[in-house]
């Protein structure tokens, strides 16, 4: 596997590389997807288990339904945007460096929300070691 991390030590500062995980969940309860407190708590728990540092969490509840929850991370950011009427959500977790595991964050969030179907894509960002 190619390494996309450049510069610094294993947990060093200044690595211009990271993983950006994009996911789509479906088969999730509409009630869960329209509950901002539960979504923020679930997002925070998933990020914590993945080793990310949450600096701030915020959300916006939409009318007649739907929530966007966002986490500002020391490592970058994470978000979830819900469509309760479809039982679906978009999830986006980007972390720089090697400390946090964005794939794990998405897996934990999927499990916490009880998604029956998930599609996950990881994009390696930054520069490749030469």
Would residue 42 show up in a list of annotated catalytic residues for this protein?
Answer: no
Q: Which residue has the tokens 């925070």?
A: 44
**How do beta strands 76-83 and 67-73 pair?**
antiparallel
Q: 42, 76, 88, 118: which one is catalytic?
A: 76
39: tokens are 């979504």
Distance CA 99, CA 51 (A): 6
Task: Check 81, 116, 124, 130 and give the catalytic one.
Answer: 81
Say how far residue 53 (Cα) sits from the centre of its chain: 12
| Cβ count within 10 A of residue 33 | 24
CA distance 117 to 88: 9
Rounded CA separation 71/74 (Å): 10
Catalytic site includes residue 76: yes
Active site residue 55: no
Give catalytic residues, as residue numbers.
76, 81, 96
């Amino acid at each position: 596997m190619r390494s996309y991390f450049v510069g610094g030590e294993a947990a060093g500062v200044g690595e211009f590389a990271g993983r950006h995980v994009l996911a789509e969940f479906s088969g999730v309860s509409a009630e869960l997807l329209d509950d901002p407190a539960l979504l923020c708590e679930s997002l925070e728990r998933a990020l914590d288990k993945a080793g990310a540092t949450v600096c701030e969490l915020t959300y916006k509840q939409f009318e007649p339904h739907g929530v966007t929850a966002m986490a500002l991370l020391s490592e970058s950011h994470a978000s979830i945007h819900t469509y309760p009427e479809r039982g679906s959500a978009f999830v986006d977790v980007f972390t720089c460096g090697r400390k946090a595991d964005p794939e794990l964050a998405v897996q934990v969030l999927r499990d916490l929300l009880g998604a029956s179907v998930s599609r996950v894509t990881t994009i390696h960002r930054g520069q490749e070691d030469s």
